[in-house]
């Protein structure tokens, strides 16, 4: 949706993975738009469905039921969130409304509340459209889930593009103009004028209909499921942004809603609902975003999470060119890698790189290595694909493995890329 | 060097990783250019060194010795390989000589003998310079180490660029013009005119000095080493294109010389020569090349190798866009994946994709998964980094895992990307 708003994606219908008609013609699945399930009876194996057009309720039986109610944007409990020109960005309709408001009301100043992934992507989208952008976050940094030194890079880059960052501030209210449209956001340090406000604070699982039916909730109020995507009630499954999952490294129950996870959970749930035996392997918090020409990504645990899970994390940071200097298309990547000081096991990674550095490749390499339980020593000997247009002869994850291995052994061979080249 | 010849790399001095002076100033290492070791005495721990400038020999003692003699280009035993205008491309001097010949002799027609990685890269380099290019290979396809259907894509692409492919032909001689420069290459089906001939048939390990000293050779005549990079003689190590290694999947001794492997072997050898205990993990034949706008890569075993190693390989092929259609910068990737039908263990992968598809990311993901011993089921649940500029919500390796998993289970859920989207 950020790319539809900025115009990179020309046609919003491309954002619809499949229409109800396509579900019918391709898979013989009946999709009932404008119908709401108002309650579930797990004992009777029925749901009550309201046809929103006619207003009539009916009871539908099920053999197996999937709850894929998703998540909804969190709207902070402050005055003014209902003003015209105040938006969240969660559903396709939100982006259509934002696009229409941009065309009709011609806002000049935009305030984005929340400097997470959506906030960062929308900094780029609104800036691309020529708007004055301010981003506000309660945390002392942008991308609050990244280490401060990584976040500092991102902040510097968006400020270079003219984005105004206001940190360690929460909003106390949203003010209107005399015409009823939004006029500004009030924080502890004063009012920031705004013709459009985007609330990008996060999402909450839609799980009330489940808990009302006696289905157990788990982490962050999401619907609790096991690796087979089963809830605590017979024949009721859940998948997607409404459901919990387990963390690959810690084994603990977590709620980390992401589109990629939803797809995999949905497939596992479907397999099991039709008699299969699929175990969804969990997640490790891999995430990535593009903001202007920067790629910002992470996977695994951060230091606090690693300590909390009983590890003794050792961190290394390095900065390297993605290609040898003689091949002209590379870029700089900043990498922070975390491993357990006792076992050497890789625990987490954060990267910030220019788009041209293909930082996402190094992130996915490290993500797979972490999932596989590899150690820093293993990382040193990965057989990655080398040719000058793609990487240096030993690529950044391998160099990071060298440095980490040395640091864990007490620094005796912790040389950086300079010492290796 | 292909990029220096085509002009992508402007300055050949950038291709020199470190000069003798830099070795001295940065690491206090004495490098003696124009000195040749003529023999090794493992019992006495000495080498005999000839100063090529003075012609004088001297005996130098060593505590530990590293043999990093590398490999040399193979020149076929046919008439005419010594003609002016016939080249191999192995050392920096070769590329300087080719570049000078291009400038001085102004060749118009180039014949490349060998359609492997160097041959393919040089197709692009010579075409970029406006030359008429013919590539000849004994095999029935280009990139002979790839599956025929992958090779067909590459051949179609280079033919589109005007490269003439002559397959299933070996050269019987190279003919000269009256001025003593090269004039053509003779094959079983006739003579092909050429003003420049590049022999890109492969390399051979430089190991005679080792075998003369009683050091055991291994696969393909390379210097046999263990995981610690030790030869069979006390205190003598070997690393790089002259040394054997082990295959990660089969555990067998192989010789697969590559720059990336050399770096890693060199590091392990150095660690061990200074009292460390580094075990080089081996290789699995990962390789990649760019040819025009195509990326061509492979890792692991092919079907014949898998059968030979005792596996029951199952193969799947798929073609998919690297990004969702609504994000405009993706490209098509053709992937062939191999797994063991009994255990599900991933065995190998081949990819051909447009540069813009970032096929190298998918190759490295699969390379790490194979090294880790992952199965097709594991592949289905990788937590890869998703955002629209980087991949589809479930990326190509995950889709391949879905398809492979279904095929191994008897096809009951072997749906392709269409069925998953």
Per DSSP, the residues of B313-370 read EEEEEEEEESS-TTSTT--EEEEEEEEETTT-BEEEEEEEEEGGGTHHHHHHHHHHHH
pLDDT tens readout for residues B26-63:
999 999 999 999 999 999 999 999 999 999 999 999 99
| pLDDT given for residue B410 in this prediction | 84
| pLDDT given for residue B111 in this prediction | 98
**For chain A, percent of residues with pLDDT exceeding 90:** 94
The angle subtended at Cα B328 by Cα A257 and Cα B291, nearest 5°, is 110
Determine the Cα–Cα distance for residues B372 and A31; give it in Å rounded to an integer: 41
The angle subtended at Cα B40 by Cα B37 and Cα B41, nearest 5°, is 150
Determine the Cα–Cα distance for residues A78 and B172; give it in Å rounded to an integer: 85
Asked if B367 contacts A385 with a C-beta cutoff of 8 angstroms, the reply is yes
State the helix-helix crossing angle for B148-160 and B117-128, rounded to 10 degrees. Answer: 10
How close, in Å, is residue B173 to chain A by CA atoms?
A: 32
For residue B36, report the phi and psi dihedrals to the nearest 5 degrees.
Answer: -120, 130
> Of how many residues is chain B composed?
421
| pLDDT given for residue A297 in this prediction | 98
Asked if B370 contacts B347 with a C-beta cutoff of 8 angstroms, the reply is yes
Mention every residue, 6+ apart, whose C-beta is less than 8 A from residue B292: B123, B124, B127, B157, B158, B161
- Provide the pLDDT confidence category of residue A17 given band limits of 50, 70 and 90: confident
Please choose, from the candidates A72, A143, A128, A123, the residue with its C-alpha nearest in 3D space to the C-alpha of residue A298: A143
How close, in Å, is residue A51 to chain B by CA atoms?
A: 28
| pLDDT given for residue B414 in this prediction | 44
Contact A383 B14 (CB under 8 A): no
| pLDDT given for residue B411 in this prediction | 61
ipTM of predicted complex: 0.95
Contact B372 A367 (CB under 8 A): no
Contact B282 A258 (CB under 8 A): no
DSSP result, B173-203: EEEE-TTSBEEEEEETTEEEE-SEEEE-S-E
Of A285, A328, A383, the CB nearest to B371: A383
Contact B297 A385 (CB under 8 A): yes
How close, in Å, is residue A154 to chain B by CA atoms?
A: 17
Contact B3 A299 (CB under 8 A): no
Of B297, B393, B421, the CB nearest to A260: B393
Of B14, B289, B388, the CB nearest to A387: B289
**Residue of A10, A383, A419 to mutate, testing the B interface (most B Cβ within 10 Å of its Cβ):** A383
Please choose, from the candidates B78, B88, B81, B84, the residue with its C-alpha nearest in 3D space to the C-alpha of residue B172: B78
Of B262, B281, B390, the CB nearest to A288: B390
> Of how many residues is chain A composed?
421
Asked if A315 contacts A303 with a C-beta cutoff of 8 angstroms, the reply is yes
Contact A385 B363 (CB under 8 A): yes
Determine the Cα–Cα distance for residues A334 and A318; give it in Å rounded to an integer: 6
Q: Which residues of B touch A280 (CB under 8 A)?
A: 381
Could you tell me the two tokens for A18?
């499949």
Asked if B229 contacts B237 with a C-beta cutoff of 8 angstroms, the reply is yes
Mention every residue, 6+ apart, whose C-beta is less than 8 A from residue B417: B318, B320, B392, B399
Contact A15 B261 (CB under 8 A): no
How close, in Å, is residue A58 to chain B by CA atoms?
A: 31
Does residue B417 register a pLDDT over 50? no
Q: How far is CA A110 from the centre of its chain?
A: 22
The sign of the torsion formed by the CA atoms of B15, B19, B22, B26 equals positive
| pLDDT given for residue A181 in this prediction | 97
**For chain B, percent of residues with pLDDT exceeding 70:** 97
Please choose, from the candidates A345, A399, A407, the residue with its C-alpha nearest in 3D space to the C-alpha of residue A376: A345
Please choose, from the candidates A163, A162, A76, the residue with its C-alpha nearest in 3D space to the C-alpha of residue A111: A163
B75-79, long-range: CB < 8 A, 24+ apart: B75/B199, B75/B201, B76/B113, B76/B171, B76/B199, B76/B201, B78/B171, B78/B172, B78/B173, B78/B174, B79/B173, B79/B174
What average pLDDT does this structure show over B242-271?
A: 96
How close, in Å, is residue A13 to chain B by CA atoms?
A: 9
How many inter-chain contacts (A to B, CB under 8 Å) are there?
204
How close, in Å, is residue A342 to chain B by CA atoms?
A: 17
Determine the Cα–Cα distance for residues A366 and A32; give it in Å rounded to an integer: 42
Q: Give SS3 for A101.
A: helix
Of B8, B258, B380, the CB nearest to A386: B258
**Residue of B380, B381, B405, B412 to mutate, testing the A interface (most A Cβ within 10 Å of its Cβ):** B381
Determine the Cα–Cα distance for residues B131 and B114; give it in Å rounded to an integer: 17
pLDDT tens readout for residues B105-164:
999 999 999 999 999 999 999 999 999 999 999 999 999 999 999 999 999 999 999 999
DSSP A18: -
Of A280, A358, A381, the CB nearest to B281: A381
DSSP A95: H
Contact B260 A9 (CB under 8 A): no
| pLDDT given for residue B17 in this prediction | 87
Q: Which residues of B touch A291 (CB under 8 A)?
A: none
- Could you tell me which chain A residue has the CA closest to the CA of B290? A389
How close, in Å, is residue A214 to chain B by CA atoms?
A: 30
Asked if A356 contacts A294 with a C-beta cutoff of 8 angstroms, the reply is no
Between A15 and A237, whose confidence is greater? A237
Mean pLDDT of chain A: 95
Q: Which residues of A touch B398 (CB under 8 A)?
A: 264
Determine the Cα–Cα distance for residues B45 and B42; give it in Å rounded to an integer: 5
Contact A386 B259 (CB under 8 A): yes
Contact B385 A286 (CB under 8 A): yes
- Could you tell me which chain B residue has the CA closest to the CA of A365? B365
- Could you tell me which chain B residue has the CA closest to the CA of A267? B420
What average pLDDT does this structure show over A101-119?
A: 98
| pLDDT given for residue B408 in this prediction | 95
Asked if B36 contacts B56 with a C-beta cutoff of 8 angstroms, the reply is no
Could you tell me the two tokens for B43?
């019992």
Q: How far is CA B39 from the centre of its chain?
A: 30
What average pLDDT does this structure show over B369-380?
A: 97
What average pLDDT does this structure show over B274-285?
A: 95
């Amino acid at each position: 949706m950020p790319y539809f708003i900025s115009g990179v994606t020309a046609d919003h219908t491309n954002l619809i993975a499949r229409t109800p008609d396509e579900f019918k013609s391709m898979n013989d699945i009946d999709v009932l738009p404008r119908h709401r399930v108002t309650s579930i009876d797990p004992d009777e194996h029925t749901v009550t469905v309201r046809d929103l057009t006619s207003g009539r309720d009916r009871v539908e039986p099920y053999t197996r039921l999937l709850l894929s109610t998703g998540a909804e944007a969190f709207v902070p409990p402050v005055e003014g969130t209902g003003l015209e020109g105040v938006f969240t960005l969660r559903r396709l309709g939100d982006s259509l409304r934002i696009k229409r408001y941009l065309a009709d009301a011609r806002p000049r100043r935009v305030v984005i509340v929340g400097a997470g992934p959506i906030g960062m992507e929308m900094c780029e989208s609104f800036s691309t459209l020529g708007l004055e952008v301010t981003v506000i976050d309660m945390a002392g940094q942008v991308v609050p889930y990244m280490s401060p030194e990584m976040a500092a890079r991102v902040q510097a880059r968006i400020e270079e593009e003219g984005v105004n960052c206001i940190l360690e501030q929460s909003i106390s209210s949203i003010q209107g103009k005399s015409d009823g449209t939004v006029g500004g956001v009030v924080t502890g340090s004063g009012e920031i004028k705004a013709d459009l406000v985007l609330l990008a604070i996060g999402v909450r699982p839609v799980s009330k209909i489940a808990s009302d039916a006696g289905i157990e909730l788990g982490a962050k109020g999401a619907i609790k499921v096991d690796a087979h995507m089963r809830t605590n009630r017979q024949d009721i499954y859940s998948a997607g942004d409404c459901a919990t999952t387990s963390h690959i490294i810690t084994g603990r129950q977590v709620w980390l809603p992401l589109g990629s996870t939803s797809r995999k959970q949905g497939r596992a749930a479907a397999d099991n609902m039709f008699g299969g035996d699929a175990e969804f392997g969990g997640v490790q918090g891999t995430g990535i975003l593009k903001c202007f020409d920067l790629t910002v990504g992470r996977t695994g645990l951060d230091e606090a999470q690693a300590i909390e899970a009983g590890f003794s994390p050792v961190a290394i940071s390095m900065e390297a060119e993605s290609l040898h200097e003689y091949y002209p298309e590379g870029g700089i990547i900043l990498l922070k890698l975390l491993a357990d000081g006792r076992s050497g096991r890789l625990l987490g990674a954060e990267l910030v790189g220019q788009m041209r550095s293909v930082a996402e490749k190094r992130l996915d390499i490290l993500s797979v290595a972490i999932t596989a339980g590899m150690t820093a020593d293993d990382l040193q000997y990965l057989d990655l694909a080398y040719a000058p247009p793609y990487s240096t002869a030993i690529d950044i994850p391998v160099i990071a493995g060298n440095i980490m291995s040395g640091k864990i052994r007490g620094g005796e061979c912790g040389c950086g890329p300079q010492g290796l080249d």
